[in-house]
Amino acid sequence: MTDPNGIDTATLARLVGGELEGDPGRRIRGLATPERASEDRLAFVMRADDPPPGLAQSHAGALLVPADLPGDRLPATAACIRVASVYPAYARISQALAANARRREAGVAASASVDPSAQVDPEAAVGAGAVIAAGARVGAGAVVGARAYVGRDARIGARTFLHPGACVLDGVVLGERCIVHAGAVLGADGFGFAPEDGAWLKIEQVGGVRVGDDVEIGANSTIDRGALEDTRLGDGVKIDNLVHVAHNVEIGDHTAIAGCVGIAGSARIGRHCAIGGGAGILGHLRIADHVTIHAMTLVTRSIDRPGHYASGVPHQEARLWNRTLARLRRLGRRARD
């Protein structure tokens, strides 16, 4: 993502509390690797003791580097921002450049459909073909992308960005500065059915979805509405693509969830957790704060202590796995004898 106007290096240095060496007025419009960077791009170097080969020949307009990286390893033409910790500083600069690039001119596109009872702040932007339903509210500086949908009585917080095709259904509440990517659905019905005489009777899902501030929800992820109470995501939660959060799940502040995770209904996940890709969490379980669940782990019992948890069998050649499986079956038969 690039910003056509850019941000000058002096502003970027102040943003990350870094020490600037070189031209304070150079405009930076995007990010790149040192090998591929041009004069309007910023590149970064993670480690002073292991700079990338050819760094001194980089054409980058600016470099973000560790404070102790020797100057003779750097290109003479680049502005240099020295910081104590590169990766968080890089993240902040990437946010600033992306925020500029995501800005849209305020107003409602002619082809958008906005119900007369909806409230769209004059500083918000509503893209072509978007729909804002009755009673919805869209906050200052928010962006509702092309063909995005905001349902009845939904709330979109200030400076929240809905990418094209995002779907925020009836009654969903989104906090400030959130990002919802294309194809994500917030407020779909939870999976609730009662068995009767060999058939399934739908249980209407009458709860909502409440999302805190600074939350990001990846493309094609689904956050189901609650059966009675709301499904809740705390502040700073980060959800990757293709994640399913079922009805009445609660996710604590600043928890990060990687792609293809499935969380069954009424699970409670604590704060500052990290859940690896493809993991599954059964319903009604409790996960403590500061828990890391490794990729492809199946969580079948509550976790009440911080730490790292894993399950699953790493891959091996099929012939070896078949032998291992045969041994496991024999052990099972012996246990029954």
Burial 144-155 (b: 16+ CB within 10 A, else e): bbbbbbbbbbbb
Tell me, what's the pLDDT at 101? 76
87: tokens are 């990766």
Which pLDDT score is estimated for 251?
98
CA distance 224 to 233: 11
The side-by-side arrangement of strands in the sheet containing 161-162 is: 107-108, 125-126, 143-144, 161-162, 179-180, 216-217, 238-239, 256-257, 274-275, 291-293, 307-309
pLDDT of 312 reads 84
pLDDT of residue 174: 98
Cα separation, 263 vs 283, in Å, equals 7
Q: Domain ranges in the chain?
A: 7-102
The domain made up of 7-102 has a fold known as 3.40.1390
Q: Which pLDDT tens digit goes with each residue over 9-40?
A: 999 999 999 999 999 999 999 999 999 999 99
In 238-259, which positions are buried (b, 16+ CB within 10 angstroms) versus exposed (e)?
bbbbbbbbbbbbbbbbbbbbbb
DSSP readout, 129-192? Answer: T-EE-TT-EE-TT-EE-TT-EE-TT-EE-TT-EEPTT-EE-TT-EE-TT-EE-TT-EEEEPP--
Beta carbons of 337 and 318 less than 8 angstroms apart: no
Give me the phi and psi of 295, to 5 degrees please.
-55, 140
DSSP string, 251-274: E-TT-EE-TT-EE-TT-EE-TT-E
Angle among Cα 121, 124, 130 to the nearest 5 degrees reads: 105
CA distance 103 to 94: 14
User: What crossing angle do the helices spanning 86-102 and 9-16 adopt, rounded to 10°?
Assistant: 130
Q: Output the pLDDT for position 4.
A: 65
Question: What pLDDT, on the 0 to 100 scale, is given for residue 1?
Answer: 56
Provide the terminal-to-terminal Cα distance of the chain, rounded to the nearest Å: 64
Model pLDDT, residue 3: 62
CA atoms of 231 and 52, how far apart (whole Å): 46
pLDDT of 332? 82
Cα separation, 224 vs 208, whole angstroms: 8
| Tens digits of residue pLDDT in 44-94 | 999 998 888 889 999 999 999 999 999 888 998 999 999 999 999 999 999
Q: By CB neighbour count within 10 A (0-12 exposed, 13-18 middle, 19+ buried), where does 36 fall?
A: exposed
Query: Sorting pLDDT into bands at 50, 70 and 90, what band is 2?
Result: low
Q: Could you report the per-residue pLDDT of 257-267, keeping only the tens digit for each?
A: 999 999 999 99
pLDDT digits (tens, 9 = 90+) for 229-256: 999 999 999 999 999 999 999 999 999 9
Q: What is the pLDDT of residue 283?
A: 97
Q: Could you count the other beta carbons within 10 Å of the beta carbon of residue 68?
A: 9
Across the chain, mean pLDDT equals 95
HSE, side-chain direction, 13 A CA sphere, residue 54: 8
State the catalytic residues.
Answer: 247
Q: For residue range 159-203, list pLDDT tens digits in order.
A: 999 999 999 999 999 999 999 999 999 999 999 999 999 999 999
Mean pLDDT of the 116-142 span: 98
What angle is formed at CA 144 by the lines to CA 253 and CA 260, rounded to 5 degrees? 45
The helices-and-strands tally (H runs, E runs) of the chain is 3, 39
